[in-house]
Amino acid sequence: MSSLAGRFIVLDGSEGCGKSTQAAMLRDRLEQELGPTRALLVRDPGATRIGDQVRQILLNPDHREMGMRCEMLLYMAARAQMMAERTLPALAEGKVVVSDRFVSSTLAYQLGGDGLTADEIRRVADIAIKGRWPDLTIILDMPVGQSAARVRPKFTLPFPEEFQPRKVKDRIEQRPPEYHEQVRRNYLAQAEADPSRYRVIDAARSPDAVHADVWKAISSP
Output the domain CATH number for residue 56: 3.40.50.300
What is the pLDDT at residue 2? 66
Predicted confidence (pLDDT) per residue in 45-99, tens digit: 999 999 999 999 999 999 999 999 999 999 999 999 999 999 999 999 999 999 9
Q: Give the DSSP per-residue string, 152-182.
A: ---EEPP--TTS---EE--TTTTS-HHHHHH
Its pTM stands at 0.91
Mean pLDDT confidence for 188-214: 97
What is the pLDDT at residue 161? 58
Predicted confidence (pLDDT) per residue in 6-55, tens digit: 999 999 999 999 999 999 999 999 999 999 999 999 999 999 999 999 99
- What's the residue count for the chain? 221
Using CA atoms, how far apart are residues 87 and 78, in angstroms rounded to an integer? Answer: 12
Helix (H, G, I), strand (E, B) or coil at 79: helix
Q: Which domain holds residue 178?
A: 2-219
Mean pLDDT confidence for 89-117: 97
CA 89 to chain centre: 19
Q: Which amino acid is at 11?
A: L
Total domains in the chain come to 1
Mean pLDDT confidence for 147-169: 69
Mean pLDDT confidence for 171-194: 96
Closest CA to 218 of 140, 141, 142, 137: 137
What is the pLDDT at residue 76? 98
Closest CA to 103 of 116, 89, 115: 116
Mean pLDDT confidence for 130-141: 98
